[in-house]
Amino acid sequence: MPSQALWMRVVLGAALAGGWLSAPPAADAQRSGASPKGVPPKAAASAPPASAAPLQALAESLANRPALQGARIGIRVEDAETGDALADVGGDKRFLPASNMKLLTTAAALDVLGSDFRVRTSVYVAALDATGVVAGDLTLVGRGDPTISSRFNADQKDARLTPLENLADQVAAAGVKEIAGDIVGDESYFRAPPLGDGWGWDDLQWHYGAEVSALSVADNHVTLTVTPTRAGEPPQATFAPATSYVTLRNGAMTAASKDADTFGIHRGLADNEIELYGRLPANGGRELGVAIHDPARFAAHLFREMLLRRGIVVRGGARRADANFRQRQPLDAEKLREIAFIESPPLSAWVRTTNKISSNLFAELLLRHLGKARGPADKDADAAGCEVVADFMKRVGAPVAELKIRDGSGLSRLDNVTPTALTALLRYMRKHPAWEIFYDSLPIAGRDGTLRSRMKGTRAADNLRAKTGTLDDVSALAGYVAAANGRVLVFSFVANHLNAARTAGVAAGDDLGKALAEYAAGASVGGGRAPERK
């Protein structure tokens, strides 16, 4: 293990060198204080707290890297047990957090809703006669389950639609032979707009900008696979799930491998036609997640296709019923017959997907559940959820006046969070009853989730657990790491206005994590916070 003097020389030279000390292999992670799988690290009772001065030098050297010139950098490091501030650069300044916002949303959901919170998705009919005919509509009612046919719940694409297929099987088993009316996708459980406040238009055609609905199926997007053919011919394009809800207009062309790649796609904001354009080199295949418009109608359309495949006659089409529609035509479930249902996995599983995989849809549905359960009744569920998260952060002890919470996922360009608020939350959750669930939901450096390819072969691998955050010019990382001296540290790194230097921002966050895992200072920590660089 490097000596303290060597460690300090590396810290002070990092701003000039732009690099970092090579760490021991990941096999040493257990010796450096990393916990066994599934067991959150606890600070050793006899381990002294780290000295603040070297970590402050580390933070300042990272913030002053030439590759980050012009960017705004925030860094905060604290002892997880004592709360002592060990390093601070802009810790009280406001930053776009990107997906670090999911830390707030998932922690609040575990606190307010509980880890075993579940919802039920139901299929209702008014009546089913002896011949198997439904005289009116068949209504598929969503209550905010993000997991229905999600790609995160299946190892194979073909298995994605299994939960929805299960509902269709139940309808057939109930004896339904014919439906005289429509298949209605009911999303009225939440009164909320389909898009988050402050979402960018250029995000909305992609899977991470998918519309949010109480009836969400298959992550509200299709997976488009584009395969080059022969030069001068259109590429082959298919999408899953296969459905007539989405149409393709293929104006692209296969080009030679050496030609420039000008391939692109476009989906209008209010339609489901995917246009392919440009030239796709013969060695340049694509697999793209493309959001669909009107998720509840998408779910109803998919369900109608499934019923038809089971030989059930459907006389009507597929349509949506939202909260505004239900104000005019209420749905009284007590007067209807439930002929099929599925239960969601527990909220603990939702939290894991939200943080490990960084699913925006999961985070936004958690936010809407918070708003419906605890928020002001006169507000839309998303805005009410933001208030619930803010109230939770007040209980955490974070500086709420410095926060601006406009969505649950961090896709919004209006969110503001301080590094100090993030470290306060991370320390708070270590004493929360849902601590192990929260901790286990975070990506593990070098192993899984959004950190699976980062910090491999270092002491941070299989040790550091943190939430990533990424937008076009934002890189963030916040979480926990066991230092080489046995202490557990909480940290927040966030870089804004990176422009073309986003990879440099990612590298700086990784270097902070690696250095904290290496840290072995033995001096005591004084009270109070480390000085902030102006």
Q: How do residues 318-329 score in pLDDT, each as one tens digit?
A: 999 999 999 999
**End position of a domain, from candidates 343, 369, 390:** 343
Q: Considering the domain boundaries, does residue 441 fall inside one?
A: yes
State whether 462 and 335 are in the same domain: no
Q: Considering the domain boundaries, does residue 524 fall inside one?
A: no
Whether residue 257 lies in the annotated active site: no
State whether 70 and 151 are in the same domain: no
HEC profile of 378-390: CCCHHHHHHHHHH
Give the mean pLDDT of the chain.
89
Structural domain containing residue 63: 4-114+349-518
Q: Which residues of 114-132 are buried (b: 16+ CB within 10 A; e: fewer)?
A: ebebebebbbbbeebeeee
Tokens coding 349: 């599983």
State whether 104 and 139 are in the same domain: no
Contact 342, 120 (CB under 8 A): yes
Q: Which residue has the tokens 């509509």?
A: 137
Q: Considering the domain boundaries, does residue 527 fall inside one?
A: no
Q: Which tens digit of pLDDT belongs to each residue from 261-316?
A: 999 999 999 999 999 999 999 999 999 999 999 999 999 999 999 999 999 999 99
Given 32, 35, 51, 99, which residue is catalytic?
Answer: 99
**If we measure between CA atoms, which residue out of 368, 71, 44 comes closest to residue 195?**
368
Residue type, 279: R
Would you place residue 51 in the very low, low, confident or very high pLDDT band (cuts 50, 70, 90)?
A: low
Whether residue 358 lies in the annotated active site: yes
512 phi/psi in degrees, rounded to 5? -65, -50
Query: Of 146-160, 170-184, 435-449, which range is least confident?
Result: 146-160
State whether 422 and 484 are in the same domain: yes
Radius of gyration of the chain from its Cα atoms, rounded to whole angstroms: 25
**Residue 501: per-residue pLDDT:** 79
Q: Give the span between the Cα atoms of 4 and 50, in whole angstroms.
A: 12
Q: What is the pTM of this model?
A: 0.88
**End position of a domain, from candidates 313, 343, 373:** 343
Q: What is the CATH number of the domain that holds 89?
A: 3.40.710.10
475 phi/psi in degrees, rounded to 5? -135, 130
The shares of helix, strand and coil residues in the chain, as percent rounded to the nearest 5, are 35, 20, 45
**Residue 83: per-residue pLDDT:** 95
Start-to-end C-alpha separation, the chain: 34
Q: Give the span between the Cα atoms of 180 and 182, in whole angstroms.
A: 7
State whether 160 and 88 are in the same domain: no
Whether residue 42 lies in the annotated active site: no
State whether 131 and 106 are in the same domain: no
Q: Give the span between the Cα atoms of 402 and 421, in whole angstroms.
A: 9
Distances (CA, A) of 428 to 265, 368, 396: 44, 23, 6
Q: What is the CATH number of the domain that holds 165?
A: 3.50.80.20
- DSSP 8-state class, residue 500: G
With a cut of 70, say whether residue 20 has pLDDT above it.
Answer: no
- For the chain, how many structural domains are there in total? 2
Sequential DSSP letters for 75-98? EEEEETTT--EEEEESTTS-B--G
Pairing state of beta strands 183-186 and 318-321?
A: parallel
State whether 323 and 405 are in the same domain: no
State whether 324 and 377 are in the same domain: no
Q: Considering the domain boundaries, does residue 523 fall inside one?
A: no
**What percent of the chain is predicted at pLDDT more than 70?**
86
Tokens coding 278: 């440009």
Q: Considering the domain boundaries, does residue 404 fall inside one?
A: yes
Distances (CA, A) of 519 to 65, 170, 483: 20, 57, 5
Coil/strand/helix, residue 458: coil
Q: Considering the domain boundaries, does residue 53 fall inside one?
A: yes
CA angle 517, 520, 525 (to 5 degrees): 110
Mean pLDDT of 388-393: 99
State whether 67 and 124 are in the same domain: no
With a cut of 90, say whether residue 105 has pLDDT above it.
Answer: yes
Given 150, 358, 441, 475, which residue is catalytic?
Answer: 358
Q: Considering the domain boundaries, does residue 266 fall inside one?
A: yes
**Residue 157: per-residue pLDDT:** 55
Top pLDDT among 174 and 6 is at 174
Given 51, 102, 344, 412, which residue is catalytic?
Answer: 102
State whether 374 and 477 are in the same domain: yes
**Residue 18: per-residue pLDDT:** 39
With a cut of 80, say whether residue 521 has pLDDT above it.
Answer: no
With a cut of 70, say whether residue 50 has pLDDT above it.
Answer: no
Tokens coding 203: 């995000």
**Residue 53: per-residue pLDDT:** 79
State whether 398 and 298 are in the same domain: no
Contact 59, 505 (CB under 8 A): no
State whether 452 and 503 are in the same domain: yes
**If we measure between CA atoms, which residue out of 89, 20, 7 comes closest to residue 50?**
7
Q: Considering the domain boundaries, does residue 409 fall inside one?
A: yes
With a cut of 70, say whether residue 158 has pLDDT above it.
Answer: no
Mean pLDDT of 518-533: 42
Quick count: other Cβ atoms within 10 Å of Cβ 373? Answer: 15
